[in-house]
Structure 1
Amino acid sequence: MTLLTYQVFKTIADVGSFHKAADILGLTPSAISHAISSMENELGFSVLTRSKAGVSLTNYGEQLLPYVNAVLNCDESLKQEIAELNGLKQGKVKIGVFSSVCTSWLPEILHSFKKKYTEIDIEVFQGTYDDVVYWIKNGVVDLGFLSVSSAKDIPIEPLYRDELLCVLPSGTKANKSTNYIDIEEMKHHQFVTQRDSTDADIQNFLKENSLQVQSNYHVVDDLSTIALVEKGFGICLMPKLVMTDIPYKVDSYPTKPPASRIIGLAAMNPNFMAPAVRTMFNHIVDKYQENEFKK
């Protein structure tokens, strides 16, 4: 099989359509179909399922995709290495981000990086912690922002300690003599909670402090959570990074005991990054790594 075959397979997997893949790759639909048929004949099994709803991966195709991504990533690394040897800074970097990094850090990262490295393209994928973990492990992205606790077995460079805050509707704090919210006070409130995949560190805090929260509201988006709190549907825990310049009338307080998440930059093989990826990795570390994490 050729690199073009792998590119055809990956593009169809991404867009779910032979015709869209043909447009993206500048090929005819018949050429796309022929490439997949040849691939399946060579493999001895089907990698795609065709239906009226579109094209999807078979179970075999799902298992094959990470290896195809690895081959294509190696090809991109080779091209970048050659460009590096020729004194050029070019290539592509694919980054996975979760919501608060996307809104608070990403615009400045993209702006400052593109200002220095105009020939390096950047592709961004936003999702939950679980999404970013999947993308890193399967070669969809080169780098990904995660909390250290959510990275698990993926190598991660710690960058920033982000304090967790308790968020309440404006003016509703019961004990106004303190500037924090303790566990006992939290127990008297209903919570607006987020799914485990959205912020595992908050879920860990709840479990560690035996907070059996009651909630009828299970959302994914940070600002949706805060909007429900503003309207009196409960309280929530939220990283401080999220609470910067929010458009909602809520009060936020440190927790007692104190809690935080550590944001880091993760890569599956940090010692074998393509030149453009290494350049982006170093750019982010230099810009955001706090002194307590510097080696």
Structure 2
Amino acid sequence: MDIKKYEVLLAVVDKGSFIKAAADLGYTQSGITYMMNSLEKECGFPLLQRSNKGVMLTLEGERLIPAIRRLVNINLELEEEFDAVKGLATGKVRIGCYPTLACAVMPQIMKLFREKYPQIRLDLVEENSVRVLEDCLASGVIDVAFMSRQPEQTYDWFPLKKDPYLAVFPQDHPLAAYDIIPAEKMMSESFFMYRSMDGIDPDVYRYFKQCKTPITSTCTSNSDFAVLFMIEQGLGIGMVPEIFWNLCCHKFSTLTTRRLQPDAFREVGLAVKSYDNSTLATMRFVREIQKNIKNNNIVL
């Protein structure tokens, strides 16, 4: 069987449609359809269920897809090894990342990396949920996750920065009289909180749990930008990571921020499923980020 057909199958499954997979891979939709029909004929049973809503795996496809993903990843690693022997730096790195980090940090990271390794393809996948990023890492959908460290982690971790959380509110809010905001003061106000499909921000949740301060919120959103727009209208206060605030503070000139007491922060870094089993391209990506941050070429 042709490994290329397996790669196309994974793209169809990950994108959820033939059209999106075709656009991503540079094929026509009819070409994708032909390859999938051919693959199913070789297998002797259907792998995909087609409908107007998109594409889903059959039960047989769900059973086979983990092994197919491992095979494709091993083939990618083998191709990189061949190129490395020839003195070439090629391959692909699939990066999972919070949307806020994707906007605030990834452009400068990808620019510097592509200048040094133009033959290595970078695919960026944005995801709000820590749990989904961890699942994608474990299953091989992504090679590296750019996220905050979680206490129950099972992956190899490369720390990059301690990113403080900031209290944010209008400049004329009574809390502006404080130089540092006690954690309990946050809960006496209308509180707007970021929330992904898994629930409220796990780093924020742990912070208030450690402070033994109950969390209550009058409104939640899965967009940090939406939270700030709500606060800008005087509807309450909130908390945002400093990296994100530095990205967008010029858009919210009527808002101000303060540090919290005790300090609130998240550790931002890179996660790989296994250091020893990561591809050469993935580890080149990790090392380049570490080096450029150390040399202040990348500012977090």
TM-score bucket of the superposed structures, by smaller chain: 0.7 to 0.9
Q: Find the aligned partners of 2:109 and 2:208 in 1 and give their Cα distance.
A: 32
Q: Identify the match of residue 279 of structure 1 among 284, 291, 294.
A: 284
Q: Does 1:35 align with 2:35?
A: no
Which residue number corresponds to residue 238 of structure 2? Answer: 236
Q: Find the aligned partners of 1:95 and 1:15 in 2 and give their Cα distance.
A: 15
Q: Find the aligned partners of 2:74 and 2:207 in 1 and give their Cα distance.
A: 40
- 5+ residue gaps, structure 1: none
How do residues 1-295 of structure 1 correspond to structure 2 at under 5 angstroms?
1-18=1-18, 21=21, 24=25, 25=27, 27=31, 29-41=33-45, 46-128=46-128, 129-149=130-150, 152-174=153-175, 176=177, 178-195=178-195, 197=198, 199-244=201-246, 245-246=248-249, 247-248=251-252, 249-288=254-293
Distance 1:174 1:158, change over 3 A: closer
Letter of the structure 2 residue corresponding to residue 114 of structure 1: R
Q: Deviations over 1:193-225 (max 9, x none)?
A: 122547311111122223333323221111111
| Contact map agreement 2:8 2:32 (CA 8 A) in 1 | no
| Contact map agreement 2:184 2:213 (CA 8 A) in 1 | no
Letter of the structure 1 residue corresponding to residue 150 of structure 2: S
Greater CA drift, 259-268 or 221-230: 221-230
TM-score by length of 2: 0.86
Q: Deviations over 1:8-49 (max 9, x none)?
A: 3213213334566567446363442131243253xxxx5322
Shift of 1:117: 1.2
Shift of 1:69: 1.9
Q: Find the aligned partners of 2:193 and 2:284 in 1 and give their Cα distance.
A: 37
Q: Find the aligned partners of 1:83 and 1:287 in 2 and give their Cα distance.
A: 25
% same residue: 25
Greater CA drift, 95-104 or 61-70: 61-70
Q: Find the aligned partners of 2:292 and 2:19 in 1 and give their Cα distance.
A: 42
Distance 1:60 1:150, change over 3 A: farther
Q: Find the aligned partners of 1:168 and 1:240 in 2 and give their Cα distance.
A: 14
- 5+ residue gaps, structure 2: none
Shift of 1:173: 2.8
Q: Find the aligned partners of 1:230 and 1:200 in 2 and give their Cα distance.
A: 24
Distance 1:8 1:112, change over 3 A: closer
Letter of the structure 2 residue corresponding to residue 153 of structure 1: T
Q: Find the aligned partners of 1:97 and 1:19 in 2 and give their Cα distance.
A: 24
